[in-house]
Amino acid sequence: MPKPIKIIIAGAIGFAAILVVVVIVSSMITRIPDVLPDRVRLPQQALTPEEITVTAAPQADGTLQVSERLIFDAPEGADRPILWYLGGESIGWPAGDGDVPRYAVMPRASEVSARELDTVEESTKNDPVEVAQLNVTRDDSDVDDLFYDDVGYEFANPHPPGENVMWTKGRHVVDVSYILDDVYLNVEGHELFVLPLQFPSGSNEAPSIRTVSLEAGGPIRCLPDNMEFEPDADCSGLDKHRFAEGGTRLTWQEDMTSSIGAIGFAAPDTLQTEPIPVYEHRRN
């Protein structure tokens, strides 16, 4: 047999062998699930949205009293506490070129508490029926610099009688309250309360609908973290948002890609406390 023909036949056999290997490997890959059976994630449209409703009340001493109502659905076998991470939040930087600092709010939380409420018809918004006080654990063991590191909080529900999980399957309502200090700031002559949009949440999978209402002061301005400091009255960096009550109520759908980490609002006229200078962070 001529040598060229032998080369062609050998090449054809080699290509066929490679093709068989590719088919076998491909079939094996298609049989590998995207996630392990116990880690299956449902599509967001199949999950009931989590609802976070926050009320912020400025206090005479320059602190913020924050009350949150968290509504979420727990799947079968839910045994994870509610988590909250609180740390420094960038709110922009001064105009100018070169090595300019980043402005940030550095909140400190105190008097943190939480309770689960009953979902029966008799438990109303204004007259809720308490199910249990949640155990609150604070962990700052990994905090070296609050600009980069967050203080962690866990809200654990004592196992209900006869249950071996923290949250029974279905809807849960939790009220959380805390006081934030070091949040009344002077930023380039703007005197405003700054509320970080970091809230306790019950799920990392379900979409989250969030609402912030002010008991006094306002209106609400968004503080983008990726541009020069400029309070944004339109909150263009928030997805699917709307204002109500003269700009003192803001509702939006949480988006992990949002550039808004905090909102600001003017203090009520009755406040006499002086704001503190904004924290300025410079890179080392």
**pLDDT (0 to 100) of residue 96:** 74
Given pLDDT bands bounded at 50, 70 and 90, which one contains residue 200? very high
Residue 92's pLDDT band, with cuts at 50, 70 and 90, is very high
**Each residue's pLDDT tens digit, 95-112:** 876 678 899 999 999 999
Asked if the structure places residue 6 within a domain, the reply is no
CATH number at residue 118: 2.60.40
Q: Give the C-alpha separation, 237 to 263, whole Å.
A: 11
Closest CA to 217 of 250, 266, 182: 266
- Does residue 211 lie within any of the structural domains? yes
For residue 84, is it within any domain?
A: yes
Whether the predicted model's global pTM rises above the 0.85 cut: no
Does residue 254 belong to any structural domain of this protein?
Answer: yes
* pLDDT class of 26 with cuts at 50, 70, 90: very low
217 in any annotated domain: yes
Could you tell me if residue 239 is inside a domain?
yes
Average confidence score pLDDT of the chain: 82
Question: Which is more confident, 9 or 249?
Answer: 249
Write down the pLDDT at residue 128.
Answer: 77
Identify which of 273, 265, 274, 282 has the alpha carbon closest to the alpha carbon of residue 56: 265
Predicted confidence at residue 124, as pLDDT, reads 63
Please tell me the total count of domains within the chain.
1
Question: Is residue 187 in a domain?
Answer: yes
Q: Which of 44-53, 59-68, 160-169, 235-244 has the lowest mean pLDDT?
A: 44-53
d(CA 25, CA 13): 19
**Distance of alpha carbon 184 from alpha carbon 180, whole angstroms:** 10
The Cα 70–Cα 117 span in angstroms is 10
Per-residue pLDDT at 203:
61
Q: Which amino acid is at 273?
A: T
Q: List, in order, residues 6 or more apart from 247 with CB less than 8 Å away.
A: 218, 219, 220, 233
261 near 197, Cβ under 8 Å?
yes
Domain-located, residue 174: yes
Determine the structural domain holding residue 89 and report its residue range: 49-281
Task: Report the share of the chain in percent with pLDDT over 70.
Answer: 77
Q: What is the DSSP letter of 273?
A: P
Query: What's the pLDDT at 214?
Result: 98
Span 118-174, pLDDT tens digits? 887 666 666 778 888 999 999 999 899 888 899 999 999 887 666 677 888 888 999
